[in-house]
Amino acid sequence: MRYELYYWPGIQGRGEYVRLALEEAGADYVDVARGAHGTAAMMKMMEAKTTPPFAPPFLKAGKLVIGQTANILFYLGSRHGLAPKTEAGRLWLHQLQLTVTDFVLEVHDTHHPLGPSLYYEDQKAAAKKRTDEFWSERVPKYLGYFERLLEDNGGNYVTGRRLTYIDLSTFQLVEGLRYAFPRRMKAFERKIPGLVDLRDRVAARPNITAYLASDRRIAFNEDGIFSGTTRRWTGKGMSFRDGPIGPDPESRDSGSAPKGASRNDSVFFYSFINSRRYQAS
């Protein structure tokens, strides 16, 4: 069966956790929105009358349409050897992925702390304050938790002796933080040697190595969750770099069509987000 992944073209974002699982599994899939008129097709599916997904990413598997990153991985994991066979093990893995989801939201809030529909330029002061708290309190809490799990399970993988999709997700966390906060992450990595080693071992896996070297892997950029916006905190004292950043393209109703969308796709995007049905309350 060929999967259809629907996510914004031009960014890794929340869809990347799904891409990594599909690539590691060697699954047959198409990244729909990266094709011609793909964004319009994605938006049309969100307008469906029966069980429409709220926002990308979502996965079409046969007749099933599955939304939410953790939910998609829960589905894929047991079907592609990326999750335990027992119900308790699968639920534990799902719980860990939901924890990753919580952390990703906190990453996002370092550059859009007041709201995804506002320009970054309008929330610089709040973003700086949020970033300081993020690194003093939240990063140690979350990454320390996964480091401890790795140690408790012998140092091989987060949940034991076999790789699961949570290991792929922690790989993405380390990669993203290295891009968004290069200096802070470099200094912090000495506190999480296990996760750094896991990142290296995941990157060395044949399917992941091939994926990272391919054009299927979208480069980190200014528009994703691990936004280059966060790279504006540079040096001692966290000074700002110049340049405006618009509304968050990760948001369903940000008012900003992601890069990679064609002109027709962008028109569809704007008409969609301005429809009364999806206006923020």
> What per-residue confidence (pLDDT) applies to 27?
98
Whether residue 17 lies inside any domain: the answer is no
What pTM was estimated for this model as a whole? 0.82
In a domain, 79, yes or no: no
- Residue 234, SS3 per DSSP: strand
pLDDT band (50, 70, 90) for residue 120: confident
Q: What's the CATH number where 120 sits?
A: 1.20.1050.10
Torsion of CA 177, 193, 158, 18, to 10 degrees: 20
Which is higher by pLDDT, 98 or 268?
Answer: 98
Helix runs in 47-181, H state only: 69-79, 87-108, 124-133, 139-152, 165-180
Distances 5 to 55, 99, 223 between C-alpha atoms, Å = 12, 22, 19
Give the pLDDT confidence score for residue 61 in this predicted structure. Answer: 97
Give Cα 33 to chain centroid, integer Å: 16
Could you tell me the residue range of the domain that residue 170 belongs to?
A: 87-204+212-232
Using the predicted structure, report yes or no on whether residue 256 has a pLDDT greater than 80.
no
Q: What is the mean pLDDT of residues 34-42?
A: 94
Confirm whether 178 is domain-assigned. Answer: yes
Residue with tokens 């906190």: 106
Q: Determine, yes or no, domain membership for 164.
A: yes
Q: What is the torsional sign of CA 202, 204, 209, 212?
A: positive
Q: Would you say residue 41 lies in a domain? A: no
Residue with the larger pLDDT of the pair 243 and 12: 12
Task: For residue 198, tell me if it sits in a domain.
Answer: yes
Determine the straight-line distance between the first and last CA of the chain, rounded to whole angstroms. Answer: 39
Quickly state the pLDDT bin for 81 (edges 50, 70, 90): very high
- Render the burial of 30-55: b for 16+ CB within 10 Å, e for the rest: ebbbbeeebbbbbbebbeeeeeebeb
Q: Report residue 185 as tokens.
A: 């992450």
Reply yes or no on whether the pLDDT at 238 is more than 50.
no
pLDDT at position 265 over 50: no
Q: What is the pLDDT of residue 186?
A: 96
Q: What integer best gives the mean pLDDT of the chain?
A: 83
pLDDT number for residue 235:
33
Tell me, yes or no, whether 257 lies in a domain. Answer: no
Based on the structure, what is the number of domains in the chain? 1
pLDDT bin (cut points 50, 70, 90) of residue 110 is: confident
Whether residue 50 is contained in a domain is answered as no
